[in-house]
A and B are shown apart, each in its own frame.
Chain A
Amino acid sequence: MQILERLLGRRYKSSSGKVAKERLLLVLAHDRANIPPGLLDTLKDEIITVISRHVAIDAEDVQVTFSQDAQESRLVADIPLAIGRGRRKR
């Protein structure tokens, strides 16, 4: 079992070939859309500012990500509301 895990782990999870592909996926997406990774932080900060003016949000957990596949590129802003988080937290 351990051997299997080690084998699988090495091969598929952390092998540097796999890591290279994951990194390239991201880098190429940014390059192609001409959206440098730093821009996402700027966008995030500004989104937090704007949304916070109207709704209470959990600024710590806001995420702005960029994704691309064959069909489309998109920016995704994930903005957790402070109130929702609070209730669920009992």
Chain B
Amino acid sequence: MAAKVLTITSGKGGVGKTTIAANLGVALAMQGQRVVVIDADVGLRNLDVMMGLENRIVYDLVDVIEGRCRLRQATVRDKRFSELFLLPAAQTRDKSAVQPDDMVRICDELREQHDYILVDSPAGIEQGFRYAIAPADEIVIVTNPEVPAVRDADRVIGLIEAEEKGPARLIVNRIKTEMVQRGEMLAIADVVELLAIDLIGIVPEDGNILVAANRGQPVAFSNDSSLAGQAFHNIANRLMGEDVPFLTLREKGVFERLFGFMRSEGD
């Protein structure tokens, strides 16, 4: 069975692409999927540390492209899941070392032995973004409920449509529930309405994500899942075609409970 290539991109940097790539990789692997995550941020490698695999890298993406090693030699197997792999970015090169065709070729080679190939795109709309979306069967846009992040997401959505790679789906990351309730943050519904694409996930701001990153152990690993961990598992399930209701990110309150209850009944 051929894998599905899913590119995670955002336009703006720092919205959580790498965190999401790492956690979706883990969540999909926990569902028994055979997954490769590719760090496409050449020159600013980070997916390796997010996943706690930084000490096991020998070769990287650019080594594969330039023929210094075979693809299999460069992919690092995760120590916790035998079917989760990382293809790391080169750290001492820049984005000009990779062409869109290279990514297509590498993903095609990986397709046969995997179910999901997740490409963690660099920020921006230049070369790195171009080669990251080239192999994509599906694109996920990550944004935060903030003006600059939403604006950049909109720009990227436009570019993806122009490349006929759409329609992309949306993850709204780092939602501060308490601020949304006070009206001091864009609501998820507002973001979805503004960007006019389908929502595939909402992830609350969660201190556990930082703790997890500190340890190199994505939150999705733990089963006593934090809210963010749950959110990642929900997204993974939606990617696999399941109809999972969105988390109700409200605390207490009769109205909220009723609303959440009605919503999950409705879906």
Residue pair A17, B186 in contact (C-beta under 8 Å) = yes
Residue pair B155, A18 in contact (C-beta under 8 Å) = no
CB distance from A35 to the nearest CB of B (A): 14
CB of A10 closer than 8 Å to a CB of B: yes
Q: State which residues 28-66 of A face B: CB under 8 Å.
A: 28, 31-32
Chain-A contact segment, one of B66-74, B80-88, B146-154, B254-262: B146-154
Assign chain B's interface to a size class.
10 to 19
Residue pair B154, A17 in contact (C-beta under 8 Å) = no
CB distance from B261 to the nearest CB of A (A): 24
Chain A contact surface mostly: helix
A5 and B109 alpha carbons, distance in the complex (Å): 63
Residue pair A28, B151 in contact (C-beta under 8 Å) = yes
Would A24 and B147 be within 8 Å (CB), given that A17-B186, A17-B187 are in contact?
yes
A28: nearest chain-B partner, CB-CB:
B154
CB distance from B204 to the nearest CB of A (A): 16
Per-position 1/0 for B184-195, Cβ under 8 A of A: 111100100010
One of B151, B158, B184 near A24 (C-beta < 8 A)? B151
Residue pair B158, A32 in contact (C-beta under 8 Å) = yes
CB of B182 closer than 8 Å to a CB of A: yes
Residue pair A16, B151 in contact (C-beta under 8 Å) = no
B153: nearest chain-A partner, CB-CB:
A28
One of B150, B155, B183, B196 near A16 (C-beta < 8 A)? B183
Q: State which residues 148-201 of B face A: CB under 8 Å.
A: 150-151, 154-155, 158, 179-180, 182-187, 190, 194, 196
Q: Chain A residues in contact with chain B, CB under 8 A?
A: 10-12, 15-18, 20-21, 23-25, 27-28, 31-32, 70
